[in-house]
Amino acid sequence: METQGGITVQRALELPGLRGGLPEVVAGADRLQRTVRWVHAGEVPNIASLLKGGELLLTTGLGLGTRPAEQRAFVRQLADRGIAALVVELGPRFDRLPAAIVETARAAGLPLVQLHREVAFVSVTEEVHTEIVNGHYALLRQAEDVHRRCTEALLSGGGVPQVLRILADFTANPVFLETADGQLLFAAGSESGQAGADPLQVWDGLRGQRAARESPPAGTALVDVPGGGQGTAAVRARLVLLAVGSPVLTVHRMAAERAAGLLAVVLMQARQEEELAARGRGDFLTDLAEGRITAEDAPAQARVLGFKPGEGPLLPVVMRLAPELSPSGNWALLARAVLEELSSVGVPVLLGVRPVEGRVPLLLGLRSESERTAVADRVAAALRAGVERAGLVGVPPAGGWVSSGAHPPVVVVGMAGGWAAASAGLRHAAETATAAQGLSDRPWYDARRLDIDLLLWRLRDHPDLAAFVDRAIGPLLDHDAASRPPLLPTLQTYLAHAGRKAETARELHLNRQTLYNRLARISELLGTDLDDPQTVLALSLALRARRHVP
């Protein structure tokens, strides 16, 4: 039973001081779970005006008056004041409580107790106050333990999501972090006490109730995360504790208030409001790709995140950044810049960030599959423009990516389809974006056309792949390491043009005879016939695999 930092009337009666007085409950027996906030003893008629509510009042009855009307007024005033219980010691003033007092207490729902033996009021006060203080201390210990765990999570490299998960597990309820104007930043669910409730679905329902009532539903605790400013800037974000699996208790609010101080520091340092929102969308897209969110549940969760694609197919896209394009931790800046560029694309977009993998996954809502290529062109251009606007390290000057020596971001576009296809498409595009690192720069890659590169990338750590590359083109690599001109570019260009010598010579700016001589030298070094289809296939695979071999 929640006691709001005090003890119950029932518990107070069980303590030695009151128990020695042989207490008898004569009214309000069903209200003994009321919280005793403090103990007060007094004998004056107007004692109700001295009380604040929640007190256990001890008296011998001298201030209750002698007439029934005075006694009824005395009890009613105490009940109106909201005291926890009235305890009257029988003795010189009353050998039994008058009917007017008992009946008024029953009508007001005020617990009324008579003591048949004399007790020391000071001992009762000390006992109850000690119990209350110990209760407060126990609550503080619990709240401080949660604060310590949250601090340790942050110091060990965790972030706001980990703090919210600790709070959710402690309260056995979902916990949300929202902006000051009510936009969801992050949702964390408890592993116990929710009967499997999805926090995003719970949030969707909460948002609907707020819209209808213009206030949070009963059982909700709101804790401000301070922003350090004045006025509206004084609140940076807000923690929302929602009673789903169990009540939100005082100790839960205390823990949330302590956690709010930690969150304020984290948000202030990292500007995590925007980044958390982008990471939350990135987590959703990754969970969808990995099958942790089903195609049936995905549309509702996407709506909570603001993505409403309509009835057309979905287009999965993944952008992967090269290591030198790291946003130095400020992924919010990158997400904002990219979203601003994508606003001109003209289709619904759900964009997230995955800092650990260096990825930016997206889902786009198309009207029809026929616009896939056109939308992919516009999206790829917007993504690259957003990277430049974000001012990332390694972004090339106006001369272009090649001239600057920087590695451009890789954009991979999957197949358009429904939610089930989007799940597989995001996973395929994410892997393909990694496998495409180091390929010749293109605005975007079609995931279907890089399946061989993806297969070779998956075999990157297998010793047989390195042995295959060494057997196929090892002598050529050794030659180029020691001699000039290098012959590997000639072979790459020759295979890229499917063995068409005229086109190869034109691209390499060579005369025919020089090209023939180089091809002959390559055949000699490798001991192969460049006109043999099996040889051409093996060399093509070896050149592709070489990017993935140390």
DSSP secondary structure letters along 453-487 = HHHHHHTTT-HHHHHHHHHHHHHHHHHHHHSSS-S
What is the C-alpha to C-alpha distance for residues 135 and 425, in angstroms, rounded to an integer?
55
> Tokens 């952008």 — which residue?
319
- DSSP structure class, residue 180: T
SS3 content of the chain, % helix, strand, coil (to 5): 55, 15, 35
Peptide bond into 550 cis (omega under 30): no
Tokens of 426: 């995001």
- Give strand pairing partners of 24: 114
- Output the tens digit of pLDDT for each of the chain's 550 residues: 444 556 889 989 999 989 999 999 999 999 998 988 889 998 999 899 889 888 999 999 888 988 999 999 999 999 999 999 999 999 988 989 999 999 999 999 999 999 999 999 998 998 888 888 777 777 778 888 888 998 888 888 777 888 888 998 888 888 888 877 777 778 787 765 444 456 776 766 666 555 544 556 666 788 888 876 555 456 778 888 888 777 888 888 888 888 888 888 877 765 656 777 788 888 899 999 999 999 999 998 898 888 999 889 999 999 998 766 665 556 777 888 888 888 888 899 999 888 878 889 999 999 999 999 999 999 999 988 888 877 664 444 343 433 334 577 899 999 999 999 999 999 999 999 888 887 777 899 999 888 888 888 888 888 888 898 889 899 998 998 888 889 999 998 998 888 898 999 999 999 989 999 999 999 999 888 888 889 889 898 888 888 878 7
The residue among 248, 245, 240, 247 whose CA lies nearest residue 195 is 245
* CA atoms 408, 271, 288, 161: torsion sign: positive
DSSP 40-54: EE---TTGGGG--SS
* pTM strictly above 0.95: no
Tokens of 536: 């051409």
Tokens of 423: 């799940």
